[in-house]
Amino acid sequence: MSTPLGEITTAAGHDVESSATDDGHYGYRFDDNMMAAAVAALPHDAQYAITTHWPRVLRASPNKTRSLNDAAVEIFRFVQRGELDHAVAVDHVALMAQNSSLGESAAREAISLARRGALPAELDPIANRHMPNQAASGFPLTYFDSLSNESVDNRLLLKGIMARGETSAWIAPPGGLKSALMAQASICVASGVYWHEQKNKGAAGVVYFALERADLVKRRLRAHRERLGFERLPIAVVQTTVNLMTPAAVPEVLATLRKAEQHFGCSVGLVIFDTFAKLIAAGGGDEDKARDQGATFANIQRVKDGADVHVAIVGHTGKDASRGARGSNAILGDADVMVSITGDMVRTANVTKANDGPEGPLFSFKSVVHEFGFDEDNEPITVNIVSGEAVASDGSSATGKRRIVMGANKVALDLLRKAVTEAGETPPASNHIPPFTRTISTETWRRYAYSGTISESDKPDSKSRAFRRAINGLQTAGLIGVWNDSVWIV
């Protein structure tokens, strides 16, 4: 049932009829209250507002084009607040222009202004469907003589593996820790720390579209938070089904990223879709079909163009894992980097395709069980996450063969282990200390060493010399790491 416009009031208490008074030819005098009341009427009775009242408002306006532009911006604010569908808003503006005899060019300009003023710019073609005669302006161009002015590495997130504007695919069999690896990558990108051996080129926001097992994704992120002591990181999780087979989903994804950026106070650099299969299935597609994969990747490209992010997709290997991703091999043509995760107790991320980097083993990793506490049955509440420990593909330490440690050095190392166990803490994120590493201060280690038998003499000078030699010897052997006042076991 229609709502009489006289009953729709603005925040200031003005209704439409009281704002529109007799004014000769058009019968109404335009003022700001009239515009505000008309905007407020839209969610309640859009059909009446568009076909009857808005043409009246625009005819009464001394500058009809400007009033249409203002109205369009206000209408799109309803979209921004989630009170009006984007496509419906476009229809509103187009019909307003049509019913007010302003023409298609005025509608195009109003929609363009509204989208810039109330929503992020996007490549969704919906806004052009009412304007079939729109003049082509050509695509943006980058000219050859300007290429030398472009920075080569300022778009990198993780050197050698993730860059803005690119897509990576991470595939593994079920239970292969691919999602766990992406959770760890999220922590590293957001905090600015290295990811295994991959250098972080600057912290950025992360939006994780957890299209399946969202609760597990959140538990993993929480586990890393507890282990590392982070209170705040620019990471957000989306657990709503997303159908990226259609361009209509692109504005929603972009609006989600903008919302996250407003909360973070920084730009989003990494977007994760977990899993690729769910992106296609949400639209009734089949990952076996190259056409369906192609449509999804086209919209992923629109997301990258609209937000300048790196998109990481998580996928499954087929029945024969050696043959790569499940379904159509079209994914190979669209992904800039393809990483296959293999192994059992020790897993290795292998680059199987890279547009501008080497192929082969990227790094190896293990999992670790994190305990949150105990449930009502006094049983541990756990989650399996990726460990920050550096390992070789055979499971040994990635730093290689260790030297035999004897004498005072062995005593100092044993006491360091004891000190880390009893008093170690995870420091704030740093590119100088490996992530997920417990450290102690040099002074704390010194107290443990002095209380032991690091020196045969009890003289302070003798203990001090023995401790300094132990630090130098263990660091040279690659058995400890030292940065400023922090020490850890490698």
412: domain CATH number? 1.10.10
Question: Looking at the structure, do residues 300 and 338 belong to the same domain, yes or no?
Answer: yes
Does residue 142 lie in a domain region? Answer: no
Is-contact 54 71, C-beta < 8 A?
A: yes
Question: Looking at the structure, do residues 419 and 365 belong to the same domain, yes or no?
Answer: no
Helix 178-191 vs helix 214-228: crossing angle, to nearest 10: 50
Does residue 345 lie in a domain region? Answer: yes
pLDDT at 2: 31
pLDDT at 395: 53
Is-contact 86 79, C-beta < 8 A?
A: yes
Does residue 393 lie in a domain region? Answer: no
Question: Looking at the structure, do residues 335 and 376 belong to the same domain, yes or no?
Answer: yes
pLDDT at 425: 86
pLDDT at 88: 74
Q: What is the CATH number of the domain that holds 304?
A: 3.40.50.300
Question: Looking at the structure, do residues 192 and 301 belong to the same domain, yes or no?
Answer: yes
pLDDT at 207: 97
Q: Strands, E, within 164-267: which ranges?
A: 167-172, 205-210, 235-238
Separation of alpha carbons 407 and 409, rounded Å: 5
Question: Looking at the structure, do residues 226 and 363 belong to the same domain, yes or no?
Answer: yes
Question: Looking at the structure, do residues 104 and 226 belong to the same domain, yes or no?
Answer: no
Domain count, the chain: 3
CA distances from 33 to 12, 57, 114 (A): 8, 11, 20
Question: Looking at the structure, do residues 431 and 347 belong to the same domain, yes or no?
Answer: no
Pairing of strands 268-274, 235-238: unpaired
Domain residues for the domain of 224 are 156-384
Separation of alpha carbons 337 and 347, rounded Å: 18
Task: Give me the residues paired with residue 195 across strands.
Answer: 198
Is-contact 245 283, C-beta < 8 A?
A: yes
Task: Give me the residues paired with residue 170 across strands.
Answer: 314, 339
pLDDT at 260: 93
- Picking from 78, 109, 128, the residue at the C-terminal end of a domain is 128
Token pair 């307003």 is found at 96
Does residue 239 lie in a domain region? Answer: yes
Phi, psi torsion values for 311, nearest 5 degrees: -110, 120
Helices (H), 266-338: 276-281, 290-307, 331-334
Question: Looking at the structure, do residues 189 and 238 belong to the same domain, yes or no?
Answer: yes
Does residue 394 lie in a domain region? Answer: no
Question: Looking at the structure, do residues 213 and 294 belong to the same domain, yes or no?
Answer: yes
Question: Looking at the structure, do residues 374 and 412 belong to the same domain, yes or no?
Answer: no
* pLDDT tens across the length of the chain (490 residues): 332 222 222 232 333 333 333 333 333 445 556 666 666 666 566 566 666 666 667 767 777 777 777 778 777 777 777 777 777 777 778 877 777 677 777 777 777 777 655 444 443 333 443 444 555 677 777 787 777 655 555 588 998 899 999 999 999 988 899 999 999 999 999 988 888 878 888 889 999 999 999 999 999 999 988 887 777 899 999 999 999 988 889 999 999 999 999 999 999 999 999 989 999 999 898 888 888 898 999 999 999 988 989 999 999 887 766 666 777 776 777 889 999 999 988 999 999 998 888 889 999 999 989 888 888 888 889 999 998 877 765 555 554 444 445 667 778 888 888 888 888 888 877 777 877 788 989 999 988 888 877 777 778 888 888 888 888 778 767 788 888 888 888 7
- Picking from 79, 111, 128, the residue at the C-terminal end of a domain is 128
Cβ partners under 8 Å of residue 453, min gap 6: 411
Does residue 397 lie in a domain region? Answer: no
Separation of alpha carbons 27 and 9, rounded Å: 21
Does residue 366 lie in a domain region? Answer: yes
Does residue 34 lie in a domain region? Answer: yes
The tokens of 397 are what? 């330490």
Is-contact 214 272, C-beta < 8 A?
A: no
Is-contact 318 279, C-beta < 8 A?
A: no
Question: Looking at the structure, do residues 370 and 474 belong to the same domain, yes or no?
Answer: no
Closest among 413, 489, 485 to 444, alpha carbons compared: 485
- Picking from 128, 144, 179, the residue at the C-terminal end of a domain is 128
Question: Looking at the structure, do residues 439 and 334 belong to the same domain, yes or no?
Answer: no
